[in-house]
Amino acid sequence: MDAAAGIAALVGRARAAQAEFETYSQEQVDAVVAGVAWAIYRDDRATALAELSVRDTGLGRIEDKIAKNRRKTIGTLRDLTGAPSVGVLSHDPATGITEYAKPVGVVAAICPSTNPAATPANKTMMAVKGRNAVIVSPSPKGASTCALLVRYIHEELDKIGAPRDIVQYVDAPSKELTNELMRQVDLVVVTGSQRNVRQAYSSGTPAIGVGAGNAPVILAHDADLADAAEKIKRSKVFDYATSCSSENSIHVDASVYDDAITELRRRGGYLLDADEKRRLQAVMWPAGRLNPDVLAREPAKIAALAGLDSPDARSAEFFMVEEDGVGSGHPFSGEKLSVVLTVYRYDDFDACLDRIQRILDFQGAGHSCGIHTRTEALATTVAERLRVARVLVNQAHCFGTGGGFDNGLGFTLTMGAGTWAGNSISENLSYRHFLNVTRLARVIPPRVPTEDELWGGYFERYGR
Q: Give the other-Cβ count within 10 Å of 33's Cβ.
A: 23
d(CA 240, CA 318): 9
Q: Does the annotation mark 146 as catalytic?
A: no
Let me know the angle formed at the C-alpha of 77 by 74 and 78, rounded to the nearest 5 degrees.
Answer: 85
Pairing of strands 247-253, 215-219: parallel
The radius of gyration of the chain from alpha carbons, rounded to an integer in Å, stands at 24
SS3 290: coil
Contact 274, 332 (CB under 8 A): no
Contact 243, 294 (CB under 8 A): no
Single-letter amino acid, residue 137? S
What is the phi/psi pair of residue 99, to 5°?
Answer: -105, 135
Contact 320, 341 (CB under 8 A): yes
SS3 428: strand
Cα first-last separation, the chain: 71
* Distant-in-sequence, close-in-space partners of 206: CB < 8 Å, separation ≥ 6: 104, 186, 187, 188
d(CA 228, CA 188): 37
Distance of CA 319 to the CA centre of its chain: 24
Contact 262, 226 (CB under 8 A): no
Q: Which helix (H) or strand (E) holds 442?
A: none
Q: Which helix (H) or strand (E) holds 262?
A: helix 257-266
Q: Give the other-Cβ count within 10 Å of 461's Cβ.
A: 7
Number of helices (H) and strands (E), helices first, in the chain? 17, 15
Catalytic residue, from 111, 146, 244, 369: name it. 244
By annotation, the residues acting in catalysis are: 244
